[in-house]
Amino acid sequence: MIAGSVARRYAKALYELAAEEGAVADTAAALSELSSAIQSLADGVLAPGVLDGDARRKLGSAMAAPIGADSTLGKFVRLLAERDRLLILPAIYEWFVRIEDREAGRVRLTLKAATALDQNQVDAVVAAFGKVTDGKIAAAVEIDPDLLGGALVELEGRVFDGSVKTRLTRLAARMAGDS
């Protein structure tokens, strides 16, 4: 993936600059907002070659203004616009967060459940998975009624599926003789 490796390089460079300035958390927060803004645009609006150089420079300046045009992130956004790379800003944000997590010794865990979980349930899952990972766990909880019950956990690219939906699907396959 060429876009992924490019995004990773941009994220690494931005992270290093933000770390030098002691502004990693602020940069991550601003990148998150910019990423959301880019993702909310209609498909194709920022595709390479759609905007001419002047329009890209104006867009970059407009995006950089609220975060400080002369700040590191402001200059970074203007550079992305100049190089017709604004479309990869969400990927840059994802890589930036990965680098930030790695440097902090943190692992992200996503816990999906059919209904809302209380804090004790979340803590129990985090504690159980904390035994299999060396890092501190940052947990995000999502509600997915399609799971019917149980939970699905994503940790370091691996999925642990204990949902009722999956169990029913497997049972149906076994009953039909598909497994």
Q: How confident is the model at residue 163 (pLDDT cuts 50, 70, 90)?
A: confident
Per-residue pLDDT, 27: 94
Instruction: Please state the φ and ψ torsions of residue 142, each to the nearest 5 degrees.
Output: -125, 145
Instruction: Please state the φ and ψ torsions of residue 151, each to the nearest 5 degrees.
Output: -150, 160
Q: How confident is the model at residue 38 (pLDDT cuts 50, 70, 90)?
A: confident
Per-residue pLDDT, 178: 67
Mean per-residue pLDDT of the chain: 87
List of domains in the chain: 2-101 (1.10.520.20), 105-176 (no CATH)
| Mean local confidence (pLDDT), 141-160 | 86
Q: How many alpha carbons fall within 13 Å on the CB side of residue 27? A: 30
- Report the amino acid identity of residue 3: A
Q: How confident is the model at residue 97 (pLDDT cuts 50, 70, 90)?
A: very high
Per-residue pLDDT, 2: 59
